[in-house]
Amino acid sequence: MTGGLALDCRDVTVRFMSERRAVTALEGVSLALEPGDFVTLLGPSGCGKSTLLRVIADIIAPTAGAVRVFGEAPSVARQRREIGFVFQDASLLPWRNVLDNVRLPLEVGGRRGAVPVSPEALLEMVGLAGWEKNYPHELSGGMRQRVAIARALLGGPRILLMDEPFGALDEITRDRLNEELLRIWRETGTTIVFVTHSIYEAAFLARKVLVLAPRPGRVRELVTVDLPEPRGLAVRETPEFVRLAAHLRRVLEGL
């Protein structure tokens, strides 16, 4: 039974052909999340963390294994709009202003009922009130990601999948967005799966860190984070955080 779990991945394996060579992107990865969990997927490039996110979002079909999102197949969850996805490059449509970008989910994929939180309120939540009429090329990289987060939250998804959303940002912007993401997580209560290759980001954000190894992508260890909540950036200076980061680094290196 998978009742009650927000996400249940069992022995997920993904293989695909690349230049006449079979590549194993993921090998027997399992992960179970409670509703409201925050897990970060941490690993070097080639460990399949983005692939796992795409399997959960029904973008890639697994070669073997089973995935359940709130007890349903990913395709069902996707069609019911239970999945929100934030990409690394924000993927805003440049010909739409900020508000129309957030409203995009209302215009495609069939008629939907009223959304629990209005696009305007979501923009306020991500700190972009007053920017509704601006176009993406007028925004900074951090602001574009805020728009992408607001768009992913429209319709109140039960699980939010984030693929290195702050990877291309400068460290100062990244820190601020990390703090704000934790606030948004508390306010919405959504389950978050967050891909990163930064140890500090992984440890700061999550309740659990799934450390992955590359070629083939497989689980090294699921590390539970016992830092106090709600967290501010200052937590990164505590001995507990430093110990956790050191442990994650050792796990990453397979020691």
Q: List interacting residues with another protein (CB under 8 A).
A: 54, 57-59, 78-79, 81, 83-85, 87-89, 91, 93-95, 104-105, 107-110, 135-138
Cβ(96)–Cβ(119) under 8 Å?
no
Query: Least distance from C-beta 151 to another protein, angstroms?
Result: 9
Toward another protein, which CB reaches closer, 161 or 199? 161
Toward another protein, which CB reaches closer, 107 or 226? 107
Query: Least distance from C-beta 54 to another protein, angstroms?
Result: 7
Cα separations (Å) of 164 from 87, 131, 182, 195, 244? 7, 24, 15, 5, 21
Rounded distance between C-alpha atoms, residue 3 and residue 16, angstroms: 31
Toward another protein, which CB reaches closer, 144 or 208? 144
Toward another protein, which CB reaches closer, 48 or 105? 105
Residue type, 135: Y
Nearest to 162 by CA among 148, 176, 175: 148
Query: Least distance from C-beta 19 to another protein, angstroms?
Result: 18
Query: Least distance from C-beta 105 to another protein, angstroms?
Result: 5
Cβ(38)–Cβ(207) under 8 Å?
yes
Query: Least distance from C-beta 120 to another protein, angstroms?
Result: 20
Toward another protein, which CB reaches closer, 109 or 230? 109
Toward another protein, which CB reaches closer, 119 or 199? 119
Query: Least distance from C-beta 109 to another protein, angstroms?
Result: 4
Residue type, 145: Q
Torsion 150-155-158-164 (CA) sign: negative
Cβ(81)–Cβ(157) under 8 Å?
yes
Rounded distance between C-alpha atoms, residue 182 and residue 168, angstroms: 19
| Token pair for 158 | 């039960």
